[in-house]
Amino acid sequence: GAVVSQHPSWVICKSGTSVKIECRSLDFQATTMFWYRQFPKQSLMLMATSNEGSKATYEQGVEKDKFLINHASLTLSTLTVTSAHPEDSSFYICSAREVLVSNQPQHFGDGTRLSIL
């Protein structure tokens, strides 16, 4: 089945550091990848939609200059949290959908737990 790999699984870093999270579709090509954020005891909230070869589309309230998204190939999207602060601590999850298959499900990575000290 379709597998989405997310790396790293967890990261702890100091305030002010930039952190990059990778999302890869391992056995399929993904034109579109999605980035979600989940705070404790809450549901997933979509942050942005990443399209291969073009700029990401951000949801209202998500700062594009803080959460940089790059989707350079059909199998890789990256999310960089720039100058991270404690309030950015959260569970970040990516998902991917196979190219040109409209009703196929999105598949999710296992998430990255980010803790900013």
Partner 1 sequence: DAKTTQPTSMDCAEGRAANLPCNHSTISGNEYVYWYRQIHSQGPQYIIHGLKNNETNEMASLIITEDRKSSTLILPHATLRDTAVYYCIVRATNYGGSQGNLIFGKGTKLSVKP
Contact pick of 3, 110, 115, 117 for partner 1 (by CB under 8 A): 110
Kindly report the number of other CB atoms within 10 A of residue 43's CB atom: 7
Q: Are strands 67-73 and 57-58 parallel, antiparallel or unpaired?
A: unpaired
Residue whose token pair is 């602060």: 85
Size of the site for partner 1 (CB under 8 A): 27
Peptide bond into 8 cis (omega under 30): yes
- Toward partner 1, which CB reaches closer, 43 or 60? 43
CB of 62 to partner 1, least distance (A): 13
Query: Residue 71 in contact with residue 50, Cβ under 8 Å?
Result: yes
CA gap 57, 42 in Å, rounded: 23
- Binder among 32, 75, 78, 90 for partner 1 (CB under 8 A): 32
Stretch that binds partner 1, among 11-19, 66-74, 77-85, 87-95 (CB under 8 A): 87-95
Find where tokens 């990401």 sit.
Answer: 56
In whole angstroms, the minimum distance from the beta carbon of 44 to partner 1 comes to 4
Contacting positions for partner 1 (CB under 8 A):
4, 6, 31-32, 34, 36, 43-46, 49, 51, 57, 91, 93, 95, 97, 102-103, 105-111, 113
